[in-house]
Structure formats: C-alpha cells, structure tokens
Structure 1
C-alpha cells in the first residue's frame, strides 16, 4: 500500500469521524392523526433549524415525502400493518409497493429505512398472521438489492416491549415463547443486513400501571441511587434497563452477532384521564428533556457502555384524533398550532434560543444566545453546490478568517468541502452572537452540542 493511498485513507477516516460526531442521535416521530396540524412543508422548515436530522413517519404520505426533499433530514417510512401480508406474498408485490410509494421521491428525499409494520407482532390480529412479517421484510430487501439501494435503505420493523416475556432483571429477559419462531429469523435477518432492531420503549406506562412499585424518578430517567440487576449491572433509569432487556432476549435465542438497538419511540404524556397517573406537563418536560440529552450522549447502557443508542422522541405533535385515553392524544411536544405544550429546556435540540412557536408562526424564537458549548456545522447530506457557496461567502464577504483552512493550516486536513464549510460556518456563527438564524445557511447547517474540534483543528466558540 503506497504512502499517498495511506494518507488518503487516513484523511477519509478522519472526515468520516468528523461527520459522525456532527450527527445527532435524536430523531422525532411525526404522526398525523389530527385535524389541526401544520402542513408538512412547515414542519420540514421548522425541523431544519434544529438538531433533529431524523424523522420517523407511520406511512408513506406523499405530501410529507415531498416536503422533506432536499431538506438534509433523513426519513424512516413505514408499511402500514394492513399492507404487510400483501408485500409478503411475493417479490413483485413488494416491488410494486416500492415503485409506487418510495421510488418517485428518490433521491431528493433521503429515505434511510423502511419499517415493515408498527408493533406488528403484538398488534396484528391472529397469531397465524405473524408469519408474514419476515417474508415481507425479505421481499423488500430483495427489491432494494436489485436496485442497488440496500446499503442506503435498511429494512426493519418496530416492536413494543410486549414482545418480551419479562423485562426485569434485564439480564434474564427473554422473548415470549410464542414469538420465538418468528423472532429468531427476524433478528437473523437484521444481523445479516446490518439493519437495527427498533423497540418502542415507554417507562411511562410501566410507572402508570405500577406507581406503588416503580420510583417516579427512575421512570423519568433520573434515579441517582440506581436499581441493581442480578448480574451486577446498576441502572439509574428504566429506559436503559428496557434496552438491555432486549439485548438479553436477543442473546437468549442464540444470536451473538452485533445488532444495533434503536429506541424507535419513547415519550411521556402531558395530560391524561384520571387513571393516567403521572401524565403532567412537568413530568413530560422532565422526561423528554432527559431523553433528548440521553440520545445525544455517546454513552451506552450498562451492558454496552460504548454503544451509543439513538432515540426517537414520541411525538412531535399532540394528535387530537387518536383513539384511546386522553394520554394517547397528548404525547406531543407541540400543539397543532405550533405552540409548545410546555417550555422545553433551552439546552435541548429543539430550541432556537427562546419561546414562541419555533418557526410555525410569526412569533418565532427570540434568538437569545445559547450557552457556552454550542457550535454550528454543515449537515452531512447538505447539497455540495450550496455548501460551496456558503463557504465562499463566509471566507469572503462574511468576514471569516479562513487561514486555518489553507494548506498547512490546522484545519486543512481533511481537505473536504463539508469539513472546511463546517469550520467557516461555525466561525461566522460565533462572530454574530450565536443567533439561530446565523446557523441556517439555506438549510445546510445545524447546531451541535458536541465540540467538533479534532487533532490540530480547534473550532472557535464565543
């Protein structure tokens, strides 16, 4: 291997590491069961000014797919439960579904995963229907392979915690016996394709159903004392225990290969019926603020402390047409008119510096400066032509001192457009008081709470 190639390889690895550090581990669930919600276009515009770069939806709504085109935000789309059986019938059915629902929007809309059903194994009717799930996933995978999209788009499915026979202690957790014949090939499929295992984990429901046995702070992700597992692990919050319970259940069916676990739904309601104990704005604010910080943390769970876990907050909006108790309609961070349900901590990924409707209406956030540890960087998937124009502006009329980006400068390597643009964007953002509108750059930038500095390259901060 020649020295120039080694140098190029090292530069590429550094660049990949830089981009990875800039990507948030926090996504949001965007449900649409409401008659008072803003348009998908307004939703996409609002989310572009936040650290959220992943959105999960529950169908393939063409209006949403169009709205998120060229937004720099990744989408996880879903096959509705009622369509799983049809896709499982043969590859041609899966090909037809993909051609009609997804292909017309690619590549402008960044679809990164297809969730085949939502809690299908516990929400689909008779047990005899469970056998269609894995064939449906395999058929869609075959379609992606045939089109060369299998590395970009992963096929998976989301599960409720009800797939477990027990979840505590985490070390002893296992899947329900009736589900093992389906779960075994399903997890093998995920391991073979590099797709994540998605679990909808809600400490709220466990607390609501057992308030005398479960400590509220433990459910709210903040019990400093901790709960001890039979194998010596100590859990300071229930969510980590639930994640590790899934790890143990996977291991119990004999699969020892690495399978990434993603929390595809988690949240806390701000309102409920009299029996919905703990459903208050204060608890919802506490849980979701901690959940966002949890997702943005590089720390894993007690069983796998070095494996970061991505989380998808449930949900973006209160949905006034959902069935069930009042709590089901009040998991949103925002009301339908765009106002906050409760005042989210300004250090969270949603905040652009103040109160108001955060981009949905005329009363946008006030733009007060953030705390000390905030930087502005280029979105990893931002359009290169726009990013180049931003770099030229920052290092020219924008007044940024870009000498560190010149050859032999501290931030010249990696000599890549997005890396150079990130340095210039951040310098401009810091120069202008860290107002949220100074970290937009036509939707190509986002704020991050992780210092993007590396090696000899130090990113300035105010």
Structure 2
C-alpha cells in the first residue's frame, strides 16, 4: 500500500478516535403508540446515530433484550404506580429488581433507575416521602449486590418543583417540597447520582408568548437575558438548569458537585401556533449541538450537562393535546418528521431520510459493513480476531503480511476486516456484528487503497 494511503487511513482512524471524545446525546424512547417499529429495529437504528444513551419509561423486557450488547446505555424507570410498593421495605424493592432488571444485566447496559416521573408534582400522588423511601430502598438493593457504582438511582422532576425559576440565581424549591427535596438531594449527593430535570422552554413560551422571546426559547437569543448577579443567558434552557442549581445550593449543597441531567427537553412539530416543523427542527438541532459540546452554564461553565432529547417517535396514543403526540423526530412509520442531522461520523456519514425499514433498520440492505469500535478493549478485540480467523472462521489472508489489508499493522484494523468478513458471511444480521459489544454496524465504506471490505 502506498504511503499516501497509509497516511489517509491513519488520519481516518485518528479522526474516529477524536470523535469519540465528543460527548454523546440521549434520546427518550416512548412507546404509547400502535404504529411503532419493534424494539429490535429501534435498537439497530440507534446504533448508527449520535444517540448513545436511551431513556425508557418502564422495564419492558422486549426493549431491554433488544438493547443487549449494543453499547448503548439505558435509563429504565419505575412506574409511578409501583413506587408505594417499593417504598414499604427493601424486600419489595429487591423482588422488583430481581424480576425487572437482574435477568438483563450485564449484557444490557443499564446505568440508571429513574424512580417515577414528575412524581412530586402529580396532584394524585400525595405521599411525597414514598418517593424518597423507594429510591433509598433501591439503592440499598444495588449496594447489597455490589452494583451501586454501575447503576445509579434518581428521579425526574418537572420545573414545577421550583417556587419560581427567574431570576435563576435566586430560585428555590417550593416550600411544601423542601423536606423531601432535602432528603432526595442528600441521597443523590451521597451516591454520586444525577439530579434529573424535565426542562421545556417550549411550555414557557407557549403559556407566555408576549413575555418570552421566541429565539430565547429556541436556544438562540444572542443578545442575552441578564441575571441580577451578572450571569448572562442566551437561551432559556441554561437559565432553567441554573435555576435548579440555585435551588440545590439553597438546600446547603453548594459545596458538593451534583450533576444536573436534563432528562427531557424538546419541541413539538404540531399543536399550537408555535409547534411547527421549523421550530422543532431549530430547537432540537441546537439542543443536540449543545449536548455534544460538553459545555456548562453561565453559573457553572465547567459542569457537563447530559441531555436526553424528547422524543424519538411521535406517539399517536398519548393523552392530552395534539402537541403531546407530536414531540417525535420520527413518525411511527419511520419517516422523519423534519430534517435534523443525527449522523455519527464513525458509524455513518449518511443523513437519515426515507423509511427506517428500508434504510437504517434493514441490516440486509446495500452497503452495510461491520467494524471494530476504536475504544473497545484490546484484549477482547484480539480474542475476536482469533475467533474470526480460527478454524471454521473466515478467510483472513488479506490481513496477513503482504496482504492488501495488512497495513496498517494494527489489531483494530485487522479485527475490523475479520469482523466484517464474518458479518457478511453470516447474513448481515445485527447480532452477527456484536462480538461482545466491540462491533459496530456502519454505512460508511471502510475500504481503502487496495484493501476491499466486502458487502455482499
């Protein structure tokens, strides 16, 4: 292989590794619809996007099984209706864990259990302390099983837990919630778990269009809004995050690092006059860009903020107004609601379009390859290479010395070639590119120079 080709390939590998330093983005995967793709197809779709974290609203076993060995982290949820039972004793929490979670780990990467959803601001759920007790019981279960470092326990709140959200620097939690919020924040601090907030500038603008600037709500007001303490906010989401931070600090936790995680944020494409395709595209594009930049907020510029976009699909059976059913980036049939770039530079250089079934979710479609993840453990990668090239495996002569794919003489490059040969030989099913979580389906041709990666 020529020196030029070697340099080009080396640059490609370097850029791929750099790309993995870009912070990933989460997505909320709701299932209240009768026209949605199967969980297996959804999992395959997400493997080729920027979304490396998924939040669901229950512990659906079909979903947990579908995401096994995908390399995608999951946040699963305890339904609000289950919280009282889990709060009563640790035994109940353990039974829930053994039934709902234990059968799927570690092959499915479950990283957080979200206990309820906006439980404290649900008028029908008056026993606030049950939420804290359920969280504490689940953490005790994880601790007893040695899983407390891998799996965290938290709970998503709405912005209604605040007495007021502006100015951000003087925000506090609602007086009636102070006792339980103090207990919850203390638990999160002790267990190094995130504080989860569902933050929607859309609702603030929808309810007060004469007082809220649309560009400010859409994350793009360059002139900024000034807080009395000197902080300048160019978008409402940062102001909402810092309002939560101030409320946490007001409880006496200002000297402790508690990560704030935006567990939901998005903009609907249908409903009221501001719920349009263009506004949804603008908001979610800017939200994704913000999530990838590892940037903090005016109050804490060095703090990383994880973001979960709401939502993956429009859900045609959700209750409420039209907008509630139209927060999705995709329609149920797999077509995109509006154009937004979800491409992953290493996974795929293509943009999404058309139907999921005929493009991203069909592993048997044209031009699909399997390669090794550049951040995978080298010992595992070597074992995969030995397996693929061993007895009954694939023809690996091209990665032997003097073969067209020998250079670069790196285990990741050789394993990628062998993985792809195995994947193509066994029918291009997504599970044939698993390799203990070290393989990655890609729509970008990894061939170079005279080295040809088959895609038959």
The answer, yes or no, to whether TM exceeds 0.5 is yes
CA–CA distance in structure 2, aligned partners of residues 344 and 65 of structure 1: 27
Match of 2:323 among 316, 322, 327: 327
Task: State TM-score, norm by structure 2.
Answer: 0.79
Residue of structure 1 equivalent to 2:405: 399
Q: Provide the secondary structure at the position in 2 that maps to 1:244.
A: helix
Residue of structure 2 equivalent to 1:289: 285
Residue of structure 2 equivalent to 1:190: 188
- Contact (CA 8 Å) 1:357, 1:363: kept in 2 or not? no
CA–CA distance in structure 2, aligned partners of residues 32 and 120 of structure 1: 20
1:79-118 alignment runs, 5 A limit: 79-118=78-117
Structure 2 gap segments, 5+ residues each: 1-16, 390-395, 421-427, 443-456
Using a 3 Å threshold, how does the CA distance of structure 1 residues 347 and 112 change in structure 2: closer, same or farther?
closer
Using a 3 Å threshold, how does the CA distance of structure 1 residues 29 and 387 change in structure 2: closer, same or farther?
farther
| CA distances 1:40-90 after superposition (whole Å, capped 9, x unpaired) | 000001111112111000000011011111111111000000100100000
Task: State TM-score, norm by structure 1.
Answer: 0.78
- Contact (CA 8 Å) 2:233, 2:239: kept in 1 or not? yes
Number of residue pairs aligned between Structure 1 and Structure 2 = 396
Residue of structure 2 equivalent to 1:249: 247
When structure 1 is superposed on structure 2, of 350-359 and 319-328 the one drifting more is: 350-359
CA–CA distance in structure 2, aligned partners of residues 398 and 303 of structure 1: 54
- Contact (CA 8 Å) 2:341, 2:351: kept in 1 or not? no
Residue of structure 1 equivalent to 2:23: 24
Give 1:125 shift. 1.6
Q: Provide the secondary structure at the position in 2 that maps to 1:70.
A: coil
Match of 1:181 among 179, 182, 193: 179
- Contact (CA 8 Å) 1:85, 1:132: kept in 2 or not? yes
| CA distances 1:80-123 after superposition (whole Å, capped 9, x unpaired) | 00100100000000000001111111111111010000001012
- Contact (CA 8 Å) 2:314, 2:329: kept in 1 or not? yes
Residue of structure 2 equivalent to 1:361: 358
User: Which runs of 4 or more aligned residues in structure 1 lie more than 2 Å from their structure 2 counterparts after TM superposition?
Assistant: 18-25, 345-352, 354-368, 376-403, 420-426, 440-447
Residue of structure 2 equivalent to 1:417: none
Q: Provide the secondary structure at the position in 2 that maps to 1:118.
A: coil
Match of 2:433 among 418, 421, 442: 442
Give 1:402 shift. 2.6
Structure 1 gap segments, 5+ residues each: 1-17, 369-375, 406-419, 430-436, 448-462
- Contact (CA 8 Å) 2:333, 2:355: kept in 1 or not? no
- Contact (CA 8 Å) 2:269, 2:323: kept in 1 or not? yes
Residue of structure 2 equivalent to 1:74: 73
CA–CA distance in structure 2, aligned partners of residues 378 and 446 of structure 1: 13
Q: What's the C-alpha RMSD, in Å, of the aligned pairs?
A: 3.3
Give the greater-gyration-radius structure (CA): 2
